[in-house]
Amino acid sequence: MEKEARLTSNHDSEPLDWGRRAPGEHLGDYVLEDVIGSGEVGTVFRVTRQSDGRTFALKLMRPALAEDPLIEQRFQREATVSARLQHPYAVRIRDLGRHDGCPYIVMDLAPGQPLDKVLADLGGPMPLPRVLPILWALADVLAAAHEQGIVHRDLNPADILVASTPHGERVTVVDFGLAFLAEPDTEDVGRLTAPGLTAGTPGYSAPEQIRGLAVTQATDVYALGAVAYRLLTGRPPFDAPNPTDLANQHLFLTPSAPSLHGGPSIACLDPLVLEMLAKRTDARPTADDVRDRLDDVACDLRIAMPGPPPPRRPTLHG
């Protein structure tokens, strides 16, 4: 039976027809297996590489967007950004290609469950000994990205995979699709957000992002603070019945201390999380600072941390 991937977009209220994709269809050297995810820019398929039988994830751009050179440029840069990052906590890009005029990116099929599903299954706060290593890993990958001028700008639990390993939980950030290189001569290219495509995820977007102002490394730290708040308390820092009210809360309200919802055992992280959620960008710590302060807390509580990951050399066509 043929499978058809469908999703909705801000561009229209009707489901978008990705075309009939039958199992066994070829996209270059890759054989389609099934749909594993979708978003506003692209949909993700599980594929098998015919030449060696290995399984990967393939993100194919939505046909209606492939005609827009600005959006295609942003999509293609996902591969460049991920390859430049060279970090084992970020998904690895393997190949680039086109199918029926639509560009696609082939990446490792990272193990684990999305963090938002883990939190939904948990139904409440995550224990502190589990939270600290996850936050440390996220701060580490952001610090490495920021060192190279890369800003993610859409960090949220849906794009964070968590997998159990013999050495503890492994974290992988699976989508740098909204990332841009924060270089002085690339302002036009850096703000690749087209009409109808929102930058960032509601609930994790920083005030400057909501206002449409410059997105910086501090924007990622704000998102990490929102992720930390949800992990520690089982709830986001702000909640509202509609996007406008939610945006206003991020813009104007000060979040309550996490320990008021997660209990006194997490009070040691109250100052750090609240600083990460500061309205002013210059009042937030850097990702490096966040990682170092998490190390200090873990040392005081005698909680083991992941430690620096080994270097990895990314390659296309690997």
Domain contains 312: no
- Same structural domain, 117 and 103: no
Which domain CATH number covers 43? 3.30.200.20
Q: To the nearest whole number, what is the mean pLDDT of the chain?
A: 82
Is residue 171 within 8 Å of 179, Cβ to Cβ? no
Domain contains 52: yes
Residue ranges making up the domain that contains 230: 113-301
- Same structural domain, 94 and 145: no
- Same structural domain, 144 and 258: yes
Which of the pair, 188 or 309, is modelled with greater confidence?
309
Domain contains 317: no
Domain contains 20: yes
Number of domains comprising the chain: 2
- Same structural domain, 49 and 184: no
- Same structural domain, 19 and 90: yes
Domain contains 315: no
- Same structural domain, 53 and 173: no
Question: Rounded to 10 degrees, what is the CA torsion of 181, 183, 189, 194?
Answer: 60
- Concerning whether 154 is annotated as a catalytic residue, the answer is yes
Query: What's the DSSP call for residue 159?
Result: G
Domain contains 310: no
Helix crossing, 287-301 with 128-147: angle to 10°?
150
Alpha carbons 251 and 287: distance in angstroms, whole number:
22
Model confidence at 299, in pLDDT bands (50, 70, 90)? very high
- What pLDDT sits at residue 172? 93
* Closest to 197 in 3D by CA, of 42, 93, 91: 42
Is residue 138 within 8 Å of 185, Cβ to Cβ? no
Where do the H-state alpha helices sit in 169-286?
187-190, 207-210, 217-233, 243-252, 259-262, 270-276
pTM of the prediction?
Answer: 0.83
Catalytic residue among 95, 108, 140, 154: 154
Mean pLDDT of the 293-312 span: 79
Mean pLDDT of the 130-156 span: 93
- Same structural domain, 94 and 119: no
Q: What is the per-residue pLDDT across 40-58, written as a single tens digit (0 to 9) for each?
A: 677 889 999 999 999 999 9
